[in-house]
Each structure stands twice: as structure tokens, then as C-alpha cells.
Amino acid sequence: MNPFDVDPKPPQKTRRWLVAATLLTAGIIIGFVVASDLGWLPTGHAVPDSSSVAQPPIARPVSTAPQPILSGSNQTFVDIAKSVKPAVVNIYATKSGRADGSGSTPFDDPLFRKFFGDEFFRKFEHPKERKERGLGSGVIVESSGLIITNNHVVSKADDIRVTLSDKREFKAKLIGTDPKTDVAVVKIDATGLPAVAWADSDKLEVGEFVLAVGNPFGLTQTVTLGIVSALGRAAGIAEYEDFIQTDAAINPGNSGGALVNVRGELVGINTAIFSQSGGNMGIGFAVPSNMAQSVMNQLVQTGKVVRGWLGVSIQELTPELASQFGVTETKGVLVSDVMDDSPAKKAGFERADVIVEYDGKPMDSPTHLRNAVAQTPVGKKVAVKLIRDKKPKTVDLTIVEQPKSMSQSGEDDGGESSASTGVLSSFEVRDLTEELASRYGLKSSDRGVVIVRVKSESTAEELGVREGDILLEVNRQTVTSVKIFERIASKLPKDQAVLLLLKRQGRTIYLTLRP
């Protein structure tokens, strides 16, 4: 054979080597491609066509202070949990019952039971000792041992115990409670404790991330994540409400715990849940930090809460009412009455004024205005912007302390009975007599006519007119007798909406009736 001739078929051994090398090379290439898609390549490794290949996570040093949330990283939440958890405590409140088991305890309160549940309480009840124990949470807000929690957690308790995150237990002293906001303050004899910084809850926005930290069902140091679902909520569980609503999981035992923002600052005190099962359903409520801090400061300084008073009865400004008063938007609060000897009366407020701004802040609901006035320091001079007869007006006044009891008297009147036609025919009125006053629990000195019958399924009934209401005005015209009511009604077109001013349980309200 010619030594320069080439064998068309290499030896079998050579062929096997070439196949193995080819497979190995292909495997390495495929491995790099798959690894790059899964983000397994080490940081800094060059990846072809970076626009189409997922980038690997970037290593970041652990910060001692929480940083704003970065997409793709949960290190922020870890930092928040580490900084906040040591400042959230367990609170055990004990109330002794009578030897015969009779008599109520603070834990018999329906509000308290609503949030914790009967089954949960049975774990802490000791029939032989006739004691009941409640479990809640608290937040250390000062390193000297000052702790804020809920009123329903510690109210009327005989003994309050606080357990810290490091398992140390202290007997707590009750500094004060405020049932009207469900806020309470206790103190333990300790120093150098970790504390959570306060945030300005007025700057909180719907959609922000928040973390709830507490001790649900006795599971200590539990952290849950969610967002701010809504602001300014009224849930009907306290007299003064401006709740932050969140979907961060809150359960029995979380009451009094911390709701913090992404900077680890306290934006609210977890207070209640809306639940049909007794557990979390994604609707939790927290007292905003500004309200809680204001109440706490007063309880610490004076042992009680003093609230500001404006002296007006107010109601929601509906689209129907707005059109009646010539207001283009429903932003604002309608004044349905002005109380005698009040700051509002002295400043010249009038019924049917629409308050649109109080002390530099826009007012969009009665709850908002009521809370703003209550938190105003007594003696402070404030400017109130309002709309009167379709014209803007600014009134200056000085806020005074809210009186313990507020009442208003009227004048005498009497007379006959009548029914009307048109939109007013859905109810019947009579002159107010001593007999009718006694029947409906009214004062015989009240001025106006009383509604004695409301037709079933009528417009008046649907819109809230009730038997026993005193009718004070029709279309801004004063009604002092049935005869005056008839005269006003006779001049009204049958297809025209009518504005009523009613007095109910000492308060006045506006209602619009439409045909």
C-alpha cells in the first residue's frame, strides 16, 4: 500500500475517541446555556445576549438599617424583621372573677371576645381560681420600658405581665387607657430596651408594603407581610376611628402589635380583624401611629385624654345633598346643626355650611373632620374653609375642650295633624304634643312637627325617614307647625326633589327626597 494513501475508514478505536470528544464538547456547551437560564452562573460571569437571558441575583451586604425595597430581593424584609421583632412583646392580662363565678370581667366584653374568640379564651381560663387570662401584643416605643397596646387587651385587668423577646418577664404598670380609640399604655421597670421609631401615618399611601409583627395564638415573634389596602376606615368598634386597613395576616393575639413600613417605622397598632371564621381573612385594621402617639402622650403626661371641640353636628355630603346646596363636588362635610355656646356658634357657623378644609387639611368625610378636631390641642386657633350659599368663606376660631355632655334645647309648639301630597305624601306629620313627645321619647319643648307614620317601601323609608323624627325644615324653610308644613308643601311641584332637615335623638340631619 502506498504510504501516502488515506484509509477511507479510520480505525474503530479512533472513531470512538472522536465520538466521545464530540459528545463531551456538546454537553459542556448545553450545560452553560442551561445554567445561564437558571441564573446559576457566578456573579459577574459574562452571558451572551443579556437582554434575553435572566440576570443572576446580586449579592448585597446586610445593612444595619432597612433600605427601600429592591426588586428581586427580600433582604429588606429580613432586616425589618430583625430590627422590629425585639421591640414587640407578649402581654398577658389577668382578671379575677367572683368566687361564685358571677359578675363580668373585661374579657366578657363582646368587643374583646370578638377579636380573640371563645375557644381561644378557654386555653387561659382556670375555673378553680375563677380567673380569666387574655393574650395580646405590645410595642416598646421608648427604651425606658414604655409600651403601647390596645385598650381591649389590658382594660380592667388585675395583673399585667409582659414577656420580652429574650424571654425575660416583667410585671407591668398600667399608665392609662382610652376606650374611645382602643389605645392603652403600660410600663415595665427596665432600661436599654429596643424600641421602634414612630412614623408619620399621614404620609402613608394605599399600596405600600407593611409588616405586621405580634404574637397570634401565642405564637411569639410572628411576622407577616402585606400592603396598605385602604386608609381612613371606620369599622364600628371604637368611637374615634381612622383605621389603616391591611391584608397582612392579623389574627387573635396580634392585637396591640406593630404595623411597620419598609423603613421599620411604626405606622400603626394592630387592633382588629374582619372575620367570619375567627381567623385572618385578609382584612385587618390598625390604629394609625399619629392618633396612637397623640393619645399615648396625653395618657403619659396627664393620665387622661382631652379632645378638642368645634360644636357642630355633621353628616356625609352625598351627591343629592351637594346639588341641593350648589356644591359641584362631594368633597366636604355638611353642617346639619350648630350648638349653642360652642366655638362654631361664636365664630358664626350656620346650618347648611359645607366644611371643605380644617386647619390647612382638606376634609372629605365626617370621620376625618371629627378625628381632626378631636386631636387639635385645646386653645389652638384654626382656620376653617367652608362653602356657604355657593360662595367660599374662611372662618377663624379657637378650639375648646370637649364637654362631657352636649345637649340642646328648643322651644314649645303644638297643633294638629296632616298628610301631604307629592314626594311628601310618603309620610304623615303632626304637631308635637306632650302625648306624642312621651310616645317617641322626645322633649315637649322641642320645636317642629313630628313624623307619626312612614309608608312602607316608600322613598322616604328607603332614604331613612323614621317615625318619631322631628321635621324642622323643608327646602330650607322653617317648619314650626302642621299649617306651615302644608303651606310649604302646597307650593312644591310634585316632580321636584325636596330637602328635609330632621332632628333625631338630639341630632339634626339633612335628607333629600326624590320623586
What stretches of 203-302 adopt beta strand conformation (E)?
209-214, 222-233, 243-246, 258-260, 266-273, 284-288
Q: 126: which DSSP letter?
A: B
Distance CA 142, CA 186 (A): 11
Question: Which positions ≥6 away from 218 have C-beta within 8 Å?
Answer: 90, 123, 135, 253
Q: Which of 36, 83, 137, 152 is catalytic?
A: 152
> 339-360 burial, b for 16+ CB within 10 Å, e for fewer?
beebbbbebebebbbbbbbbbe
| Catalytic residue check, 152 | yes
Q: Which helix (H) or strand (E) holds 78?
A: helix 75-84
Distance linking the first and last C-alpha atoms of the chain: 117
Phi first, then psi, for residue 23 (nearest 5°) are: -65, -40
Bridge partners of residue 295, in order along the sequence: none
Distance CA 147, CA 484 (A): 60
Q: Which of 178, 182, 242, 469 is catalytic?
A: 182
Distance CA 379, CA 401 (A): 8
Distance CA 339, CA 313 (A): 8
Dihedral of CA atoms 57, 62, 63, 65 in degrees, nearest 10, equals 100
Q: Per this entry, what is the length of the chain?
A: 515
Q: Which of 83, 201, 255, 365 is catalytic?
A: 255
Cell of 1: 500500500
Helix (H, G, I), strand (E, B) or coil at 219: coil
Residue among 370, 214, 215, 197 at smallest CA distance from 267: 197
Left (φ > 0), alpha (ψ -120 to 50) or beta: where does 356 sit? alpha
Cell of 408: 340642646
Distance CA 221, CA 185 (A): 20
Helical H segments across 38-129, by residue range:
75-84, 110-116, 118-122
Question: Which positions ≥6 away from 391 have C-beta within 8 Å?
Answer: none
Distance CA 502, CA 472 (A): 6
Cell of 385: 374653609
Query: Which sign, positive or negative, has the C-alpha torsion 453, 456, 459, 465?
Result: positive
Cell of 26: 456538546
Distance CA 201, CA 257 (A): 16
Distance CA 360, CA 76 (A): 36
CB 503 within 8 A of CB 446: yes
The catalytic residue positions are: 152, 182, 255
